Structure 1
Amino acid sequence: MNDRIRVAEVRLVGPAGEQVGIVRVEDALRLAQDADLDLVEVAPDARPPVVKIMDYGKYKYEADMKAREARRNQANTVLKEIRFRLKIDPHDYGTKVGHIERFLKGGDKVKVMIQFRGREQSRPEMGIRLLNRLSEDVAEFGFVESTPKQDGRNMVMVIAPVKRKAEQRNEARRAAASQPRAAAPAAEQTAA
């Protein structure tokens, strides 16, 4: 930046993005000072290096804002885990399906695990049947990412959400913003 550029000639880009051409560093610095801006090296590996006349403080600020916005929109997908037994009561099954739907609506993946005990281990087809039924019940909110696999005493399947977590969050924000704020007018009426 500015006086720290240690080459004889540079390819200069003007403040509006126009190509000025190859000039001496002293001339480029003088042009930048006349415009009350900084001379910033944008491509040091090029031959000759590319420099641009810009407001460096504004450039740093805008880069920080872009990075902050990218971090805000980034969503970490969490892998939730639900455990089943092969002989599960219909009411318990419905409760666990409700939990899985809530996780998928939130944009998280769900690892469904069936635990086999004793003689149940000799009947893996019953576990596959239960997991297929489960995948059909939550098909509206998610899809099977990894098919059922036997892993020792357990059978595991992963269900991924239909919508990504960032999409879910943005949709929830829009829904909250579109809701009328009924509490504020009621508070104003009681104050009057």
Structure 2
Amino acid sequence: MNEPRINERIRVPEVRLVGPKGEQVGIVRIEDALRLAQDAELDLVEVAPNSRPPVVKLMDYGKFKYEAAVKAREARRNQANTEIKEMRFRLKIDEHDYETKKGHVIRFLKGGDKVKVTIMFRGREQSRPEMGRRLLLKLAAELEEYGVVENMPSQEGRNMSLVLGPLKKKAEAKEEQRQAREARKAAEAEAREHRKAPRGAAEEAETEGAEPEAVEVEEPAAE
């Protein structure tokens, strides 16, 4: 992307000036705009070069570039992390296979990935597209706590597809999975330590708090 013209590189007689907080200053001579930028220790940045006159804004251009780069990296990271999984169903799928594949779709959605669910028509099934639509919408309704419909059912040749998007972002899903793993490891470590505890200590713990055993004391014989 071409960088905008800034400061002395803006070579026009006048500009429409916007202040650092977005306030409209109006049309001013370029010399006056540059002086205002210098007095405020800011840059004069051309934000709409094709306007007549061009629109310029007072801003800290270095900070602006840094924040824009951070946002761009974050957007690329989110795009790279989000995958589109695909799960294929037959129109006449049996209940067991349906539940198994639904479980896979749930796992993908909980992991923060989109899922393209495809119904594959065979032979005369192509004449009954409404059956495929009903199956896809039934699945979407059953998964509403895990995902949202991003693309309604659409037919592509012999297939009909629907796209489900996760309710949680990939980063959030990964963080939840990490916390669950740490909690599970902590529980397993605690269980191991309990198994390693010495038997005497365990027995002592069991008897702690028990009432003392009664002891008979013989009285001295009368003289």
TM-score, L = length of structure 2: 0.55
Specify the SS of the correspondent of 1:65.
helix
Specify the SS of the correspondent of 1:167.
coil
Give per-residue Cα distances to partners, 1:83-123, cap 9 Å, x unaligned.
6496x7x5xx524541244225523011122545xxxx5xx
CA distance in 2: counterparts of 1:23 and 1:56, whole angstroms: 20
- One of 45, 51, 58 as aligned partner of 2:63: 58
1:18 aligns with 2:20: no
1:158 aligns with 2:161: yes
Say whether the 8 Å CA contact 1:111–1:157 is kept in structure 2.
yes
Q: Percent identity?
A: 44
Partner of 1:108: 115
Partner of 1:167: 168
CA distance in 2: counterparts of 1:132 and 1:180, whole angstroms: 38
Say whether the 8 Å CA contact 1:83–1:114 is kept in structure 2.
no
Deviation of 1:132 (Å): 7.9
1:82 aligns with 2:88: yes
1:32 aligns with 2:37: yes
Give per-residue Cα distances to partners, 1:124-171, cap 9 Å, x unaligned.
49x88985895587340277943789x6xxx6332443xx13636366
Q: Which runs of 5+ in 1 are unaligned?
A: none
Say whether the 8 Å CA contact 1:101–1:141 is kept in structure 2.
no
TM-score, L = length of structure 1: 0.62
Deviation of 1:62 (Å): 1.5
Amino acid at match of 1:108: V
CA distance in 1: counterparts of 2:51 and 2:121, whole angstroms: 59
Aligned residues: 172
